[in-house]
Amino acid sequence: METLCKFCGTVSPLVESGFLHVHSSSNAYELVEKYIEATQLSPSHLSIPYDSHQEIIPALKGWIDAGYGEEWIKLSPTEEIKRPMHLMIKHLYHRSINPELVKIIENEQFEAHLQPIFNIQKNELYGYESLIRTTAQTVSPGQLFKFADDAGLHSFLDQRARKLAIQKKAEEIGPGYYCFINFLPSSIYNPDFCLQHTFSIVEEYGVKENELVFEVVETEEIDDTNHLKEILYKYQTSGMRVALDDLGAGFNNLEKLSELEPDIIKIDRAYIDDCANNQEKQSFISQAIELGKKLGIVTLAEGIETKEELEWLTSQGVDLAQGYYLGRPAKDPIHAIPQNQ
């Protein structure tokens, strides 16, 4: 209780308003204190170490609804990083109501699948994108990553996904082909510190740095361009390439490309769908291609599902392509490429 009072102020309004009851309040205080340790994302602390979830959940939900916890706190006495208490309460709430999803992340019940990427100007295989798939058939990758974000586990999941991709590159893709690896900018709060784990894995598996492409996943909006530039610069100065995903959707500012200086831009599938017959989409794609050539950026069209789309994009000068028409994600490289490719 002392810890919670320090972070959230007095707790009496919570009790008086009915958000906490006598039987659960002491456990709730202990739970929040324990969560402060858990935010360091040690594998042994991902799960909520209590059986009283049903008593705790109403209290946590009450705190969220009431807007308590605006104070910023340190994760540990030795760390300078701070997070708002209300965010930590939100993370704890989602971990409490979804213990089965916590277990999937905690036990790393996911694997890397590979989707082929082709150089359509040279008609040859360029590489593969590594995509996470859960071994639990009832949980989609989208559900898992959404939960990880809500529960404050996205950094942990993102880091493990990068490791699986690098391992896949070393053991199955082999030399001569690129491996595209997704990452969330928000999971890399300090590039100098956070990326050391990734770089050490690259060294451990003996993978060539210049055959790795780290791809910004734009399911989240880019609020801090300078932070993203710092991450991209760190990758590039380490010999790796970087790509911006979802051009035209999550990231739609063509003018920002000259500032961010990516090596590759991926044109969002929303613009690729029926692009052979849609003049508005053709106009945007043509602008992206023209700007890419001007800045020396490779263009990649994703989400290709028809022969007509592929032929039009090839004729316009798009460099790379991926999509179900060219190959679906599969556990191994051989099965990712259809026999007719």
Q: Lowest-pLDDT range, 22-31, 150-159, 235-244, 245-254? A: 22-31
Nearest to 56 by CA among 10, 102, 19, 17: 19
CA-CA distance, 59 to 143, in Å (whole number)?
25
Q: Residue 249 has what pLDDT?
A: 60
Helix (H, G, I), strand (E, B) or coil at 316: helix
In a domain, 102, yes or no: no
Residue 257 has pLDDT above 90, yes or no: no
Helix (H, G, I), strand (E, B) or coil at 178: strand
Range of the domain at 22: 2-97
- Give φ, ψ of 70 to 5 degrees: -75, -15
Half-sphere exposure of 167 (CA within 13 A, CB side): 12
Residue 120 has pLDDT above 70, yes or no: yes
Q: Residue 169 has what pLDDT?
A: 97
In a domain, 245, yes or no: yes
In a domain, 172, yes or no: yes
- Give φ, ψ of 300 to 5 degrees: -130, 125
- What percent of the chain lies above the pLDDT cut of 90? 47
In a domain, 45, yes or no: yes
Q: How many CB atoms lie within 10 A of CB 21?
A: 12
Residues 135, 77: one domain? no
Residues 168, 288: one domain? yes
Q: What is the dihedral of CA 215, 169, 46, 110, to 10 degrees?
A: 100
Q: Residue 226 has what pLDDT?
A: 87
Which is higher by pLDDT, 70 or 219? 70
What tokens does 281 get?
């989409």
CA-CA distance, 197 to 215, in Å (whole number)?
17
Give me the mean pLDDT over the 38-50 stretch: 45
Residue 7's contacts (CB-CB under 8 Å, 6 or more residues apart) are 32, 69, 71, 73, 85
Look at residues 53, 71, 97 and tell me which one is the last residue of a structural domain: 97
Residues 52, 132: one domain? no
CATH of the domain at 188: 3.20.20.450
Q: Residue 20 has what pLDDT?
A: 36
Residues 72, 205: one domain? no
pLDDT in tens, 279-300: 999 999 999 999 999 999 999 9
Cβ(180)–Cβ(215) below 8 Å: yes
Give me the mean pLDDT over the 33-47 stretch: 48
**Residue 112: what residue type?**
A
Which is higher by pLDDT, 1 or 321? 321
Q: Residue 138 has what pLDDT?
A: 86
Look at residues 62, 97, 132 and tell me which one is the last residue of a structural domain: 97
SS (H, E, C) 223-258: CCHHHHHHHHHHHHHCCCEEEEEEECCCECCHHHHH
Residues 280, 135: one domain? yes
Residues 212, 317: one domain? yes
Beta bridge partners of 118: 125, 321
Q: Residue 333 has what pLDDT?
A: 82
Cβ(337)–Cβ(116) below 8 Å: yes
Cα 63 to the center of its chain, rounded Å: 28
Residue 337 has pLDDT above 90, yes or no: no
Residues 88, 205: one domain? no
In a domain, 259, yes or no: yes
Q: Residue 50 has what pLDDT?
A: 43
Q: Residue 34 has what pLDDT?
A: 58
Residues 79, 157: one domain? no
Residue 36 has pLDDT above 60, yes or no: no
Residues 20, 122: one domain? no
In a domain, 120, yes or no: yes
Tell me how far CA of residue 171 lies from CA of 20, 179, 207, in angstroms.
52, 12, 10
- H helices then E strands: how many in the chain? 15, 10
Look at residues 97, 131, 161 and tell me which one is the last residue of a structural domain: 97
Which is higher by pLDDT, 205 or 73? 205
Which is higher by pLDDT, 306 or 174? 306
pLDDT in tens, 309-334: 999 999 999 999 999 999 999 998 87
CA terminus-to-terminus distance, the chain: 64
Tell me how many domains the chain contains. 2
Residues 180, 126: one domain? yes
Residue 335's contacts (CB-CB under 8 Å, 6 or more residues apart) are none
What tokens does 72 get?
């910023």
pLDDT in tens, 97-110: 888 898 899 889 99
Q: Model confidence at 65, in pLDDT bands (50, 70, 90)? A: low
Q: Residue 80 has what pLDDT?
A: 56
Q: Residue 21 has what pLDDT?
A: 35
pTM greater than the 0.85 cutoff? no
- Mean of pLDDT over the chain: 79
Q: Residue 144 has what pLDDT?
A: 93
The 3-state DSSP composition of the chain as helix, strand, coil percent (nearest 5) reads 50, 15, 35
Q: Model confidence at 35, in pLDDT bands (50, 70, 90)? A: low
CA-CA distance, 87 to 106, in Å (whole number)?
20
